[in-house]
Structure 1
Amino acid sequence: MPRPLIELCVENTDGLLAAQAGGADRVELCASLLEGGLTPSLGMVREALRVARVPVFVMVRPRGGDFLYSEVEFAAMLEDVRLFREMGVPGVVFGCLTADGQIDAARMGALVEAARPMQVTCHRAFDMVPDPQAALEALIALRVDRVLTSGLADSAVEGLDTLRTTVEAARGRITILVCGGLTPDTIAPVWRATQADELHFAALIDTPSGMRFRNPSIGMGGTALEREYTNRVTSEALVRQTIAALGFAD
């Protein structure tokens, strides 16, 4: 088997630069990874496209929480997809569910149609469905290109059995992009067990803020005070280490 394609999840252009320098084949650009990834700003997307040497897929998710969207939220998603297409973004990432946890075929179909010729990834909304095989067939019928999944579990290690069956069912029809806590310790065992064509992870580390003056009384957005002076960044070294753990020569 050839080395799987490696996608890095990043939330800014600094993260993109670190990911591609570390050997990533593609990046997923998001805002607010603390919320699982939201739609980044147009300015961030434009700058990412300017500096990228690898394909940039952009998250289209208007808020955190569930994947059951209001009419105005869905309208915003459609507009974001159209804007990203006009900007020349190579791929977008989104997912919509019905209240009973099924793939929302009507909304997903409209988003796919608006996205073309961009690539389309269904994100981990897939991990919130009751029947992954039915959801997979629905996404194949909608001509979605790939599915990001941890096997309906908190991590790929925990979802390994579902990942295996999903990869087998998808082979030749849709790409399975395996994710979920992939680290230098887990990435090789997960890949050997699933034989997935693509792997996705975020190589994040905490670094102290460069601020010399610090207000000890305010935590923005209800966060702990120390969060205001800690930055989570993509580590080029950790990207390299995780990819190297797969055991392929450079």
Structure 2
Amino acid sequence: MNQLEIACFNVESAVIAQENGADRVELCASIEVGGTTPDFEITKKIKELINIDLNVMIRPRGGNFVYSDAEFNQMKLEVIEFKKLNVNGFVFGILNEDNSINIIQNTELVNLAKPFTCTFHRAFDEVSHVFQSLEEIIECGFQTILTSGQMPNVVEGANRLAELVSKANKRITIMPGGGLRASNLNSIQEKTRAAFYHSSAITNGSETANPDEITALKSILK
């Protein structure tokens, strides 16, 4: 069966995700900027409350994905700290000024995160050369790319998502995310043939996942 990751911004959402069948939680702070590194103590509490996989975003701020030396050092320190909680993986992405993949910094973080897995997040939707970037991200050692297919949402990006799944050829997981809901999951699943899907399952403008939406998403996956 295909799997479901829920982006969570608080403890309640993580518990709701587990109780309603999600396979993994992606934990972030700052929903208003698309996610940043979560609080260590909140992460620790969630790790104690759930037993499904828990991935942690490493992103020092909102805005672009080009980081100063100080910000990159902060990201490295955060990876080291969160590894102590025995989380299951990390989510990050670093670009160069020209929106190409920063191979050196990404590879360093991936190696620092070992043995935990790494997902390249939606910074991918800003890259200039999409298929070259796919190959470079694979070379960096990532296991997953979270993407809306370089469009504002997965519905508009469905064709590109299907191309990426095909070109990835099981060397890396392409995980559609961005506006994914139970109302469009069927068509996205049929079009892309992806194996893992990502949603916040937030339906009411709050920061908390809707349990019914998670249940509906999970029931569609096959």
Bucket of the pairwise TM-score, normalised by the shorter protein: over 0.9
Is the partner of 1:97 in helix, strand or coil?
Answer: coil
Choose which of 136, 161, 164 in structure 1 pairs with 2:162: 164
- 2:47 is aligned, of 49, 53, 63, to 49
Residue 125 of structure 1 and its aligned partner are, at CA, apart by: 0.5
Rg bigger for which structure? 1
Q: Give the TM-score taking structure 2 as reference length.
A: 0.97
Q: Find the partner of 1:235 among 210, 213, 217.
A: 210
Secondary structure of the structure 2 residue equivalent to 1:121: strand
| Aligned partner (choices 108, 111, 125) of residue 127 of structure 1 | 125
How far apart, CA to CA, are the structure 2 residues paired with 1:182 and 1:69?
A: 28
How many Å separate the matches in 1 of 2:105 and 2:182?
37
- Provide the secondary structure at the position in 2 that maps to 1:81: helix
Q: Quick one: which of 139, 142, 147 aligns to 1:144?
A: 142
Do 2:89 and 2:117's aligned partners in 1 also have CA atoms closer than 8 Å? Answer: yes
RMSD over equivalenced CA pairs, Å: 1.2
**CA 1:205/1:162 → structure 2, altered by over 3 Å: closer, same or farther?**
closer
Q: Which amino acid aligns with 1:6?
A: L
User: TM-score, normalization: structure 1?
Assistant: 0.86
Specify the alignment match of 2:6 in structure 1: 8
Q: Sequence identity, in percent?
A: 35
- 1:62-112 C-alpha deviation (Å, 9 max, x unpaired): 000000011111100000011111221110000000000001001001101
Q: 2: CA distance between counterparts of 1:73 and 1:128?
A: 20
Identify the match of residue 108 of structure 2 among 110, 118, 123: 110
Q: Does 1:179 align with 2:177?
A: yes
Q: 1:115-149, CA deviations, whole angstroms, 9 ceiling, x for partnerless residues?
A: 00011000001110011101100011111111000
Query: Any conservation in 2 of the 1:28–1:57 contact (CA below 8 Å)?
Result: yes
Name stretches of at least 5 consecutive residues in structure 2 with no aligned partner.
Answer: none
SS of structure 2 residue aligned to 1:151: coil
Q: How many residues were matched structurally?
A: 222
Q: Distance in 2 between matches of 1:159 and 1:138?
A: 21
